[in-house]
């Protein structure tokens, strides 16, 4: 027998499909939303819709933004000659929280994983190679310390080394298999400062 109405069950089910939200949390959030003033719920709903409709990839670094060029790429205070390659926008945000990195980024939106059928053409490598035609001194590879992250790092290194651009990899201190977005700022900063040339 159904405990709640179809619509409430559907809401709980949709919330439960979000990452990190289990059944109890989904139920708690659903009832919180149902107890909120209607205007607040509609405002939240509109914000989600507008964000989803307006979000796009930055034409330069491929991070998520609501403008043609993201704030980092358009800033004249950033060192455009140093590019840090990360797997996704959450990793970029993690490094930005350190407040110490002054270069720009390139977001791959994934990592090479033959087991999952993800090859070099399935991530934003083509755009990275095009960016390297400009005046770039150093490419910092900050992919995760997983098998896929390491594979991607080695692939990029072999691709870029012949161009004469310095290629470095963030140092260990980031645990193997750990996601950058979950690591504290001090560890990320130490990994960045201790990077090694590939």
What would the two tokens of residue 67 be?
Answer: 């403008």
Q: Confirm whether pTM is higher than 0.85.
A: no
Domain 6-54, classified CATH 1.10.8.420, yes or no? yes
Q: Any idea which architecture 67-197 has in CATH?
A: 3-Layer(aba) Sandwich (3.40)
Examine the pLDDT at 1 and tell me if it is beyond 50.
no
Examine the pLDDT at 174 and tell me if it is beyond 70.
no
Query: Do residues 21 and 15 lie in contact, with contact meaning Cβ atoms separated by under 8 Å?
Result: yes
Q: What is the pLDDT of residue 171?
A: 72
Q: What is the pLDDT of residue 152?
A: 94
| Residue 185 to residue 174: CA distance in whole angstroms | 11
Query: Do residues 171 and 194 lie in contact, with contact meaning Cβ atoms separated by under 8 Å?
Result: yes
Give the DSSP letter string of the chain. Answer: --SS-HHHHHHHHHHHTSTT--HHHHHHHHHHHHHS-HHHHHHHHHHHHHHHHH-EE-TTT--EESSSS-HHHH-TTSEEEEEEEESSHHHHHHHHHHS---EEEEE-SS--BGGGTB-GGGTTHHHHHHHTTS---EEEE---SSHHHHHHHHHHHHHHGGGT-EEEE--BTBPTT--GGGS-HHHHHHHHHT-EE-
- Domain-wise residue ranges, the chain: 6-54, 67-197
- Rounded to the nearest integer, the mean pLDDT of the chain is 88
Q: Among 172, 173, 169, which residue's Cα sits nearest to residue 85?
A: 169
Give mean pLDDT, residues 83-102.
93
Give mean pLDDT, residues 82-90.
96
Q: 34-72 pLDDT, tens per residue? A: 999 999 999 999 999 999 999 999 999 999 999 999 999
């Amino acid at each position: 027998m159904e405990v709640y109405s179809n619509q409430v069950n559907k809401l709980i089910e949709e919330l439960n499909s979000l990452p990190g939200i289990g059944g109890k949390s989904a139920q708690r959030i659903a009832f919180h939303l149902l107890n909120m003033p209607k205007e607040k719920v509609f405002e939240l709903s509109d914000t989600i819709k507008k964000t989803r409709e307006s979000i796009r990839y930055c034409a330069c670094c491929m991070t998520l933004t609501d403008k043609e060029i993201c704030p980092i790429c358009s800033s004249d205070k950033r060192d455009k000659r140093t590019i840090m390659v990360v797997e996704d926008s959450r990793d970029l945000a993690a490094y930005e929280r350190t407040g110490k990195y002054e270069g720009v980024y390139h977001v791959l939106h994934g990592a090479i994983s033959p087991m999952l059928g993800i090859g070099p053409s399935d991530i934003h490598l083509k755009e990275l190679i095009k960016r390297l035609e400009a005046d770039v001194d150093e490419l910092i590879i900050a992919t995760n310390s997983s098998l896929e992250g390491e594979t991607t790092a080695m692939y990029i290194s072999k691709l870029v080394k012949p161009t004469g651009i310095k290629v470095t990899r963030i140092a260990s201190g980031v645990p193997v298999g750990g996601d950058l977005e979950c690591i504290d700022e001090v560890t990320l900063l130490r990994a960045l400062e201790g990077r090694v040339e590939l």
